[in-house]
């Protein structure tokens, strides 16, 4: 790998670890708020990546996907994906179970949206005020890449997890509102959910959903910038 690619990979992995850690920690925190301290007792309410890393989903696959995707050609279609260790929850201990299921499921999405909003705000201020000139020249490009990855990844994760496909958070939220007659269909989807997700990602279905949203985000980011 070239030094430039290595630098991009390092920044990408730092952002990925932050995004995944915030996502899983938010699930744990919200579950604890509704009376289930399972994840809290396991030390999952933390931004320390060590508590949330899955060796394959957080390290191996994202790194391999990033490197292969940078090569172009057919391998570039391999999706940049990643996940952390699932946050353990015990729904039997939740107060107000329906509300808890929605809030615990949505907590990770809200955490990613919060990070995305912070990244957008900082990026916008820098672009509007020219504050980048106050940053040492050698750090201007890394800072720009970091903010770009931070914004893009967290928006993408939030949108991705909202989709109603098991095992994504959106399916758990949908489960709360589905009539009992639809539960068997959802249970069937859960058996093949990961395979379906990988297929749809490879075919570019999710990119087609997320790309217009990212285009809007960057349009708003650059709006009014001279």
Active-site annotation, residues: 24
Rg of the chain over all Cα atoms, to the nearest angstrom: 19
Return contacts of 74-81, CB within 8 angstroms, 24+ apart: 77/202, 77/204, 78/202, 79/198, 79/201, 79/202, 79/206, 79/207, 81/57, 81/201
3-state secondary structure of 56: helix
> 166: closest CA among 189, 150, 141?
189
Contact criterion met (CB below 8 Å) for 47 and 21: yes
Handedness of CA 54, 202, 217, 222 (dihedral sign): positive
Alpha-carbon distance of 45 to 51, in angstroms, equals 9
Quote the DSSP letter at residue 133.
G
């Amino acid at each position: 790998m070239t030094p430039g690619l290595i630098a991009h990979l390092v920044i990408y992995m730092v952002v990925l670890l932050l995004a995944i850690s915030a996502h899983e920690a938010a699930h744990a925190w919200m579950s604890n708020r509704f009376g289930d301290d399972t994840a809290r007792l396991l030390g999952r309410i933390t931004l320390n990546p060590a508590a949330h890393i899955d060796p394959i989903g957080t390290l191996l696959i994202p790194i391999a996907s990033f490197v292969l995707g940078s090569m172009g050609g057919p391998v570039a279609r391999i999706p940049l994906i990643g996940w952390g260790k699932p946050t353990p929850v015990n729904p039997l201990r939740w107060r107000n179970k329906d509300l808890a299921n929605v809030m615990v499921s949505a907590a990770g999405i809200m955490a990613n949206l919060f990070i995305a909003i912070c990244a957008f705000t900082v990026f916008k201020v820098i672009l509007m005020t020219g504050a980048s000139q106050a940053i040492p020249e050698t750090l201007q490009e890394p800072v720009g890449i970091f903010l770009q990855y931070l914004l893009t990844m967290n928006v993408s994760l939030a949108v991705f997890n909202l989709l109603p496909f098991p095992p994504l958070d959106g399916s758990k939220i949908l489960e709360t509102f589905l009539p009992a007659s639809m539960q068997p269909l959802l249970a069937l989807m859960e058996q093949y959910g990961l395979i379906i997700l990988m297929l749809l990602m490879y075919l570019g279905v999710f990119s087609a959903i997320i790309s217009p949203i990212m285009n809007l985000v960057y349009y708003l980011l650059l709006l009014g910038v001279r």
